Amino acid sequence: MRSGLVFALLLLLLAPLAPAAFAPPAFAQDAATEMPPMPRPRPNRDATPPVTPPAARTPATEAISALTTVPQPVSLKARITEDGTTIPEGLVWRIFGTTPDANGELALVAKSDEAIASVELPPGEYVVHVAYGRAQASDTLTVTEGANEKSFVIGAGALRLNSAITGDIAIPANLLKFDILTAGDEATRTTVAEGLRPNEIVTLNAGTYHIVSHFGDVNAVVRADLRVEPGQLTDATLYQKASQISFKLASEVGGEAIADVEWTVKTADGTTVFTDLGAFPATVLAEGEYRVLAKQGETVFNRDFEVKAGSSQEIEVLTTAH
């Protein structure tokens, strides 16, 4: 009797739980038919990356996260040629990320001017640029866990330029300068270096270059295409067909120079190529025919003359000739 009563009481206590315990399972597709579909999530570029809830972190996830963010040692070196030795100095290393910013530029993440660059970078992909003088090379770099090493071959050569007047007449260094451009059509050339002085050694990537020699500042210009070979110094002399010219105005042949004279030099077609003020103006002119005008006060004196390549010349203008 007593046991029957206890059993009845247990049935009454368990009765409210029975419907839940035996209710049919609910499936996701069933729930979807009862509520409108949720919009697809869109990434927020300005938002902070989601952080894994502490409860979801495990020793394994912590270890993986640490490996992907801890900087790893990276060693970079370069050679001039494939079988050459490591370049001992003069290198500039720049390391960039691989994701362009809004302007399409890659972010600079590290820089070094050591011969063998030693940096630390988080694992990932990078772009490395190395410059040696005006020679340069770029390549991708993958940083992984542990020590990372990469060697670059720049393929560089050197160029040393000079000029002389036809006949091997030396030209004063202060009157010479050189420009180096890429080879090809004039419209597509780009400047590699400009204003170089004679005998200055320039390091360049191996290849063909267009060289421009300027003798003075007027019209004595010579051009040539030169080939730079990897691992070699190329010496080149460009010959000028020009001469240094000086002027003076005198009242008689061999007389004293008259001061405060305005000078103008024109080519045969009337183009003005040189102007100056003084008693002894000087310039450099390419071979050809010219006319010089010497103005003193309101009076203008002139003389036709010819320039031939060779030693310097003095052009004397007399006040007895107009």
Name the amino acid, one letter, at 17: L
Query: Which tens digits make up the pLDDT trace of 287-314?
Result: 999 999 999 999 999 999 999 999 999 9
Query: Which tens digits make up the pLDDT trace of 274-285?
Result: 999 999 999 999
Q: CA 100 to CA 150: how far, in whole Å? A: 23
Residues in the chain: 322
Does residue 52 surpass a pLDDT of 90?
no
For residues 234-251, one letter each, b for 16 or more C-beta atoms within 10 angstroms of the residue's C-beta and e for the rest, the string is bebebbbbbbbbebbbbe
pTM above 0.75, yes or no: no
**Token pair in block for residue 19:** 């419907």
For residues 177-191, one letter each, b for 16 or more C-beta atoms within 10 angstroms of the residue's C-beta and e for the rest, the string is bbbbbeeeeeeeeee
Please check whether residue 209 is in contact with residue 191, taking contact to mean a CB–CB distance below 8 angstroms.
Answer: no
DSSP 62: H
